[in-house]
Amino acid sequence: MTTQAHGAYRRAHSLDMALATLAEGPCTVLAGGTDLYAGAPPASPLLDITTLDELRHIGPAESEDRPAIRLGALASWATVRDGALPSWAHALALAARDVGGVQIQNRGTIGGNVCNASPAADGVPALLALDARVELTRRGSRRLLPLDRFLLGPRRTARAEDELLTAFVLPEPPPGSRSTFLKLGARRYLVISIAMVAIAIDVGDDGRLAAARLAVGACGPVASRLPVLESRLAGMAVPLAPSALARLIDTDALAPLRPIDDVRSNAPYRLDAVTTLLTRGLAELSQEVLA
């Protein structure tokens, strides 16, 4: 464990105790610890919430009078990976397989991955494509915030100092919805993404796309949805031909992205990779709907 001043570590044995501690002053929340212990010791006291098993539960819920799935913030990536989610949330299960190695997946939590607010966080694009809302809890109140409003920038979120991220709420899409996740890195596993995409589609009874939700990670300060491309895809007949898709993915469609040059790649390559991943993912997913 990192060296801390005497009294700078507290373990919460209940959610009420955790919220009371946060109400007293800012803390660095310890969940899985896989991000925290990789860096410098935190300046604020550690609040250990690893014993709060009620935050590990995944199960049915309601969101704005719609059926939904509620994912406790302490659910591990291994749990998400190993079939805890319905088939329409397959994108998140696929992303879980790419979060570090098996040891990280066993220990790391979905809430920690999001609160770390890395531009290359593997779980974020899938959650965005699944219209996830963040549940933030403080003493006496609870609020739901769309994920794209929760993430403000690298290492920055909308969580107030006295709030704890307690869950994610995923509204259930129409029957027959499908989702997928594709990641490009220097190698298949144990690598930070060059680019990644998450795709969710709803296909109507007429065999056309009723809606598409597309999110891209590692190509900007935060992962981003692509509303122009989503609008262009609406109403298209499935299966989607790669040649037709390639014509839709132009500069306007990718305008929300802000890729950078770094040691892993350069900006033009990242944009080219996103185009390839989107084309491949949409074509394969629309074919899967017909299977």
Walking along the chain (291 residues) 10 residues at a time, the average pLDDT comes out as 57 97 95 75 88 96 89 97 92 94 93 94 97 97 97 96 98 94 85 94 95 97 97 96 94 97 94 97 92 74
Same domain, 59 and 165: yes
CATH of the domain at 188: 3.30.390.50
Domain that holds residue 228: 178-290
Q: How many domains does the chain have?
A: 3
Q: For residue 3, is it within any domain?
A: no
Entry pTM: 0.94
Question: Residue 1: its pLDDT value, please?
Answer: 35
Question: Residue 40: its pLDDT value, please?
Answer: 65
Same domain, 93 and 193: no
Identify the domain boundary among 171, 202, 229.
171
Provide the token pair at 94.
């696929």
Question: Residue 5: its pLDDT value, please?
Answer: 47
Distance, CA of 257 to CA of 216 (rounded, Å): 8
Same domain, 69 and 134: yes
Q: For residue 1, is it within any domain?
A: no
Question: Residue 228: its pLDDT value, please?
Answer: 98
